[in-house]
Amino acid sequence: MSSYDARFRVWRGDAGGGDLADFSVEVNDGEVVLDIIHRIQATQASDLAVRWNCKAGKCGSCSAEINGRPRLMCMTRMSVFDREDVITVTPLRAFPVVRDLVTDVGFNYTKAREIPAFVPPSDLGPGEYRMQQEDVDRSQEFRKCIECFLCQDTCHVVRDHEENKTAFAGPRFLMRVAELDMHPLDAASSSGLDRKRTAQEDHGLGYCNITKCCTEVCPEGIHITDNALIPLKERAVDRKYDPVVWLGDRIRRR
Ligand code: SF4
Ligand code: F3S
Ligand code: FES
């Protein structure tokens, strides 16, 4: 087993401000960035705040920015870096810092609550639901989401524009709207809820200009842009220019 000392720069501070702190720390074969952060905590900075839980890429807690890229610390192997590299670990930039590497991701829970849940069909009971396998497969991809919020952090719509946060749900939650809109048994429309319209008017679908940065950072490899956002945009546009829908909207506005 070989080991070496790596140079780490870790952001330390709180909502009032902070700075990068330098550490030289032992690295052993097979370790990931979260192991090194834990070693710093155990040997040099016992009050370093870091959020983690599963250490297996499944809880979505250990999200941070490593050399400026949003990543899961527990899934970033030290072997991807050169031994001479300085590795900089900072908190997610799009969310307010609580302390050190821990951010307040409450924005995401607020957005989750704004999306109306699946509406069960009124004429079917539990156990009577039947779906085509292709419909099951399509939404299965979206259900792999571990809610790490790396996609939310990297999307420039909120990363660079705090003021957009009220109007834009972000890729993770637009994907949720797309999943529900694709669901063949969702009976939202029977209660007057048009998910395509709400995607545009309430969740800011139009702010997404398909940069695909969200897809690039997703640790689950979900094709957020190609399989959720673009199809949702296409369906929303179809709805907008459907002459029957247009006429209905005009009559309703009178
Ligand atoms: Fe994380 Fe991917 Fe889910 Fe976004 S879609 S929260 S990047 S798992
Ligand atoms: Fe943002 Fe993803 Fe669209 S990064 S702009 S939500 S494609
Ligand atoms: Fe659970 Fe990293 S600790 S995803």
pLDDT tens for each residue of 145-162: 999 999 999 999 999 999
Beta-strand pair 102-103/97-99: antiparallel
Average pLDDT by consecutive 10-residue portion of the chain (254 residues)?
94 98 98 98 98 98 98 98 97 98 98 96 90 92 97 97 97 98 92 93 97 98 98 85 62 62
- Hey, whose CA ends up nearest to atom 1 of ligand 1? 148
Distance 75 CA to ligand 3 centre (A): 8
Q: Which residues lie with the beta carbon below 6 Å from any ligand 3 atom?
A: 52-55, 57-62, 72, 74
Which one of the ligands is nearest to 108 CA? 1
| ipTM for the complex shown | 0.99
Which one of the ligands is nearest to 218 CA? 1
Atom of ligand 2 at shortest distance to CA of 156?
A: 1
Distance 128 CA to ligand 2 centre (A): 37
Q: Which of 200, 212, 218, 232 to mutate to test the pocket of ligand 2 (most atoms within 8 A of CB)?
A: 212
pLDDT tens for each residue of 74-114: 999 999 999 999 999 999 999 999 999 999 999 999 999 99
Q: Which residues lie with the beta carbon below 6 Å from any ligand 2 atom?
A: 155, 157, 171, 208-214, 225, 229
pLDDT of the residue at 237: 85
Distance 65 CA to ligand 3 centre (A): 14
Residue 131 region, left (φ>0) first, then alpha (ψ -120 to 50), else beta? beta
Does residue 149's CB lie within 6 angstroms of at least one atom of ligand 1?
yes
Distance 211 CA to ligand 2 centre (A): 5
pLDDT of the residue at 126: 83
Distance 173 CA to ligand 2 centre (A): 11
pLDDT of the residue at 240: 64
Distance 219 CA to ligand 3 centre (A): 11
Contact, 163 vs 173, CB < 8 A? no
pLDDT of the residue at 245: 61
Atom of ligand 1 at shortest distance to CA of 152?
A: 4
- Hey, whose CA ends up nearest to atom 4 of ligand 3? 57
Atom of ligand 1 at shortest distance to CA of 108?
A: 6
pLDDT of the residue at 128: 92
- Encoded tokens for 137: 């497969």
Those residues with Cβ within 8 angstroms of residue 152's Cβ, 6 or more apart along the chain or in another chain = 94, 107, 108, 158, 170, 171, 172, 214
DSSP string, 210-231: ---HHHHH-TT---IIIIIIHH
- Hey, whose CA ends up nearest to atom 3 of ligand 2? 208
Those residues with Cβ within 8 angstroms of residue 6's Cβ, 6 or more apart along the chain or in another chain = 24, 25, 26, 27, 36, 78, 81, 83, 85, 87
> pLDDT over 90 for what percent of the chain?
89
Beta-bridge partner residues of 96: none
